[in-house]
Structure 1
Amino acid sequence: MTAASVFARYPGSVRDEAVAADGSVHPPFGPVAAALDQLGGVGLTSVVGAMAQERRVRGVVFGAYVDGRLQERPFPLCPVPRVLPAADWAHLARGVEQRHRALNAFLADVYRPGGRRRTDDDRLPEVVRAGVVPEWVVTASPGHRPAAVGWAVPGQQRITVSGLDLLRGPDGWVVLEDNLRVPSGIGYALANRDSGRAALPDLYAAAEAAGLVDPTEAVALLRAALADAAPPGCAGNPQLGLLTDGRDNTAWFEHRLLAEAMGVPVATPHTLWPTPSGGVAVQVDGARVPVDVLYRRFDEADLAGHLTPTGIPVDVLLGEAVRAGQLAVANVPGNGVADDKATYRYVPEMIDFYLGEQPVLATVPTWLLADAGDLAEARDRLDELVVKPVDGYGGQGVVFGPQCSAAELAELQAEVLATPHRFVAQEPVDFSTVPTVVDGLVVPRRADLRVFAVAGTTTRALPAPLTRVALEEGSLLVNSSQGGGSKDTWVLPG
C-alpha cells in the first residue's frame, strides 16, 4: 500500500471486513481498493458529491417524524461498496431461508383456524403444548392478534416478505432481529446499485463482467411470491397491487419504486373500491382494476384509521374480501407475535421443533426480563448489556449499558424493575467495520446487513441485501432514523 493510497492511514483490524490488522487488503476487496486508489482523495470526494446530487435528482429519500411532522431526508450512500464473498452469501441465504420457514410454521401454529374455542383442550399452539415456547410469550405478546386467524387465505404463507438484520461478529454472522410485518429496504438496495453504477461506471462494469450478482433479480422473485399468495379461486395470472398509506409513509419513495419495478398499481385508501363479487378494485387512471393480492406496506394498526371513498374503513373492506375468498393481503396482519424481542429468544428451538434442523445462523444471548430467573441474572449486569423494548423497532428505545453514565444506569434499572415485561437484555456484539467515506476520508465504521427473503411455493433469499452503516465514530446505531447511512452490497459470484 503506497503513501498516496486512500487506505494509507486506514486503521485495519481483526474486525474490519476489508483491511486486516497488518494493513493488507483482503482479496475480495482488492478490486475496489485499487479503484479507490486510482481515484485518490480528490477524485473520491468528487464522486461523493456527484452521487449525492444524483440521488437528490432521483428523490432517494426516507421520511422521519419530528415533533409529529413528517420530514423527508436524503438517504446517505457511501460510494465504497461492501463486498460479500460467495461463501458468505450462500451461508446467509441458507440461514435466512431456514429462519423464514420456521417462523412461517410458528405463525401457522399460532393462528391455525381450528381448536380455538375456550373449551378445547388443544387451543394453545402445538409449540406451547410441547413446552418449547412459554404460553405467555405468545398470549402476552404486543403483536399477538387473535382476530388475525381470518386474515390468511387457505394455504397462504403469513410471511411473504421478511427482512432479517444480521451482524458479522467475532465468530461469524449472527441474527440480530427478524422483521416480519412490513420490512423495508428492498427498493433502497436497488436504488443503491443504480447510484453506485452511475458514480463509478468503470469499477461496476468490470465487476459485472466478472459475474457480480444483479440485485434486480429480486424483483421477479418478489413478484412471483406475491402471485403465489393469491386466493385459490383466482383464475389466470393474479393481479397485484402495492398498498400504501401514501405520501405520509416514511418509505413512500420505496413504495413507488417497487410498484413501478413490478409493473403493479399503487393502491392508497382513497383508490380502493368494493367489487360486486365481494373483492377489491384499485382505481387507476379512471378505471377500477380488481386486484387479487395487495402487497401491504403500512402498519396493520393503521388500516382501521383510513376510510375508502365509500366510507368503509380499509380494514373492514380488506377483511371482508379476504373472508370472501376474493383477496389476499401480504404480509398477513398479526405477524408481530413472531418478530418481537421475546419470541426471538426461542427461534432456534422453533427451527428444531418445526423443521427438525439445527440453526444455520447464530443468535445473540437474550434474557427475557419478564421471567423472574432471567431478571435475576441480568438486573446487576445492565452496565454490560444492551436493553431493548420488547416491541421496539428502528433502534428506538435501545440502551447500550456500557455507554451509560452511573445516573443513566440507575434510571434504566429503575425502569426495568418497575416494568420488566417491557424489556429484554442482550449481550453486546462486537460487530464488524467496513471502509466508509466520512468528510473526505476513508475510515472504519460499524455496519449491519438486512437480508430479505420471500415465501410462496418455495422460500428464497433475495439477492438484494441492504447494508446500513453508522456514520458517527463509535456509534453502534445504523438505522437511517438514527443518523445512519447505507452502502451498495456486492454479492460476488461463486
Structure 2
Amino acid sequence: MAGPADPTAGTPVSPLLDGYGAPPLDEALDTSGGIRPVYAPVLAALDALGPAALAERVRELHALRQREGMIFTAPVGGHLKEQVFPLDAVPRIIGADTWRMLSDGAGQRARALNAFLADVYTDRPDGAAAAIVAAGIIPEALVRGAPGWLPAAVGLVPADVPRAVVYGIDLLTDEAGRWVVLEDNLQVPSGSAYALANRRTAAAALPELVGTVPAVRSPETLGAMFRAALTSVRPPRCRAEVPSAVVLSDGPANSAWYEHRLLAAELGVPVVLPGQLVADGDGVAAAIGDTTARIDVIYRRTGSDELIDRADGPGGLIRDAMAAGTLTMANAPGNGVADDKAIYAFVGPMIRFYLGEDPILDDVGTWVLADPGQYDAVRGRMGDLVVKPVDGSGGEGVMIGPDLTPSQVAAVEAAVAARPERYIAQDVVRFSTHPTLIGDGLRPRHVDLRIFAFAHSMTDVVVPPVGLTRVALRSEGLLVNSSQGGGSKDTWIQE
C-alpha cells in the first residue's frame, strides 16, 4: 500500500503483536503479518521495556498530559465529560516522499480554496455572480444556501489577502493505498498545538523511542512559521512595521482552551476574550490588565461567526476595523462556506478553474443531495453509504450506513428525504490501521491525519512539518475525532 512508510519485506512479529493478525491495510505490518522495517526499531524498543515498565510509562504519559491541562470534552456513558486527550505509545511514521506529496497537495488546496473564498465574497456592484458560478462549475444556490455563507463578510477582506491564513486538511489512506482528502477546514482549524504537545510529552515519557528512526523532523518550528504567516497578512493601514497580534478565544469553556494558550505562548502573544476588545479610533485594541494595546492581527479561535455577524459590541468593532483596513482577522468570518461538505465535492474543479492544475490529492466519492439527480442516484442506498450533514464538524451527525440497524437506516432515509439539501452521501472508505496499545498488547485501529498550511499570500503557502494523527480507539471504529472517543499519536515525519 502507498501508506506513510514505504512497504518492503517485513520482519518477524514482536511479542506485543501477539494476536494482532495481518490486517489488509496496516501501516506497520505487511499482509503476511511481518513488521515493516521502518517500524522494527520502534517496536523493539517497546518490547525491551517489558509489559510492566511499558504500562508504567503509559501511566506517566497520561499523568503528564493531565498536569499540562490537555483536556477535552467527550461523551462518556451517555454524558459529556472532561478527560485527558489520549496519546498512544506507538508513533506513526510518515515517509519523506509521502510527506512531500501530502504537503504539495495541502498547499494546492489551500490556494484554490482561498481563491474560491475571494471569488464568492468579492463585492460586485453590478450584482454579477462569482466567476466560478458564472462558469457553471458551482450552482449559486449551493454557495448562498450553505449554512456557513455569511452575507456580512462580502467585501470585508481585500481580494489579494487570503481569508484562510491557517488551513487544515484531513487525510486518510483508502483500500487502494491512495491518500484521499476527507475534509477541508478553513474556519477554525484546530490541532497543530496538540501535535506539538504530543511530541513533547511522548519524548518525556518514552525517551527510549527517541532516535530509533533516523531523520525525523522536529515540530518545534511551528511557532515561528505560524508567527511569520500572521505577520505577512498585516492590514493595509497597519501603523507598525511588525504587526501586533493576539489569540482571540471564548475562554476556558472551549474544549480547545489548552491549545489556545499553548499557541499563544509559541507565538509570543496574549490570549484575549471578546469582552477585552475596545475601540481605538478606527481600529481595535485589547484591554490587558492595566494597559490597552492596539491590535493589528487577530488569530481567531472562537468557533462561530455569530460574534462577527452582530453589529454591536466586539463584533461591530471587528467588522468596522476590518472594513477600515486597520485589522486582519485570521481566519476571516464567512469561511464556513468553504468548510461545507457539499462544497467539498467541487474542490477538484476549483483547482482546475483557479489554478489551471490537476489535483494532487483525490477526494472521496461524494453525492450532493441538494442536486435532485445526485439524490436519485443514491435514494434507498443510505445503508451502504456514509451520510453527513453539510455543516457538521468533529464527527457530529455522521451516519455510517453499514454500521446501522435497519430501523436506524430507515430513520436516516426519512431525515434525508425531508431535507436533502442538508446532507451529502459518500462512499464508505475502510481506511488504514495502525498498531495501538490496547490493554497490554497492540491491536489494529483506524487512523487519519490532519496537517496544516499557512498562507502568506494568495499564492505563497507553506506547510509546517507537523501532523496530528487521530486514532479510533474502539475496535473497528471509523470515527477518530476526540469528541467521538478517539485519541492521537505522535506523528514522525521523515526528512
- If the length of structure 1 is used for normalisation, what is the TM-score? 0.93
CA distance in 2, matches of 1:284, 1:416: 48
Q: Is 1:337 equivalent to 2:337 in the alignment?
A: yes
The amino acid that maps onto 2:379 is: R
8 Å Cα contact 1:19/1:25 also seen in 2: yes
CA distance in 2, matches of 1:79, 1:94: 29
Matches within 5 A, 1:11-30: 11-30=21-40
8 Å Cα contact 1:64/1:250 also seen in 2: no
Instruction: Tell me the residue number matched to 2:181.
Output: 175
Any idea what SS the aligned residue of 1:23 has? coil
8 Å Cα contact 2:308/2:318 also seen in 1: no
CA distance in 1, matches of 2:415, 2:483: 24
CA, structure 1 residues 428+138, in 2 after alignment: closer, same or farther (shift >3 Å)? same
CA distance in 1, matches of 2:203, 2:56: 15
The amino acid that maps onto 1:339 is: D
Any idea what SS the aligned residue of 1:217 has? helix
CA distance in 1, matches of 2:488, 2:406: 33
CA, structure 1 residues 304+101, in 2 after alignment: closer, same or farther (shift >3 Å)? closer
Q: Is 1:89 equivalent to 2:99 in the alignment?
A: yes
Q: Say which of 131, 135, 143 aligns to 1:138.
A: 143
- Identical aligned pairs, as a percentage? 46
CA distance in 2, matches of 1:414, 1:266: 45
Matches within 5 A, 1:266-415: 266-275=271-280, 277-303=281-307, 313-415=313-415
Q: Mind listing any 5+ residue stretches in structure 1 that lack a counterpart? A: none
Instruction: Tell me the residue number matched to 2:482.
Output: 480
Q: Is 1:429 equivalent to 2:429 in the alignment?
A: yes
Instruction: Tell me the residue number matched to 1:6.
Output: 16
Aligned-pair CA distance for 1:70? 7.6
The amino acid that maps onto 2:62 is: A
CA, structure 1 residues 250+430, in 2 after alignment: closer, same or farther (shift >3 Å)? same
Q: Say which of 31, 34, 41 aligns to 2:44.
A: 34
Any idea what SS the aligned residue of 2:465 has? coil
Q: Is 1:257 equivalent to 2:262 in the alignment?
A: yes
Aligned-pair CA distance for 1:6? 1.1
Q: Say which of 162, 183, 203 aligns to 1:197.
A: 203
8 Å Cα contact 1:164/1:175 also seen in 2: yes
8 Å Cα contact 2:386/2:400 also seen in 1: yes
Aligned-pair CA distance for 1:206? 4.6
Aligned-pair CA distance for 1:41? 2.3
CA, structure 1 residues 81+400, in 2 after alignment: closer, same or farther (shift >3 Å)? same
The amino acid that maps onto 1:283 is: A
Q: Mind listing any 5+ residue stretches in structure 2 that lack a counterpart? A: 1-10
Deviates more, 1:229-238 or 1:75-84: 229-238
CA, structure 1 residues 108+304, in 2 after alignment: closer, same or farther (shift >3 Å)? closer
Aligned-pair CA distance for 1:271? 1.8
- Report runs of 4+ in structure 1 exceeding 6 Å deviation: 1-4
Instruction: Tell me the residue number matched to 2:470.
Output: 468
Any idea what SS the aligned residue of 2:202 has? helix
The amino acid that maps onto 1:144 is: W
8 Å Cα contact 2:14/2:43 also seen in 1: no
8 Å Cα contact 2:203/2:210 also seen in 1: yes
The alignment's C-alpha RMSD in Å is: 2.1
Instruction: Give per-residue Cα distances to partners, 1:231-256, cap 9 Å, x unaligned.
Output: 12223111111011111211111000
Instruction: Tell me the residue number matched to 2:223.
Output: 219
Aligned-pair CA distance for 1:142? 1.0
Deviates more, 1:293-302 or 1:158-167: 293-302
CA, structure 1 residues 65+4, in 2 after alignment: closer, same or farther (shift >3 Å)? closer
Instruction: Tell me the residue number matched to 2:8.
Output: none
CA, structure 1 residues 260+65, in 2 after alignment: closer, same or farther (shift >3 Å)? farther
8 Å Cα contact 2:23/2:444 also seen in 1: no
| Aligned length in residues | 481
Aligned-pair CA distance for 1:300? 3.5
Instruction: Tell me the residue number matched to 2:452.
Output: 452
8 Å Cα contact 2:118/2:159 also seen in 1: no
CA, structure 1 residues 42+372, in 2 after alignment: closer, same or farther (shift >3 Å)? same
The amino acid that maps onto 2:65 is: R
Instruction: Tell me the residue number matched to 2:61.
Output: 51
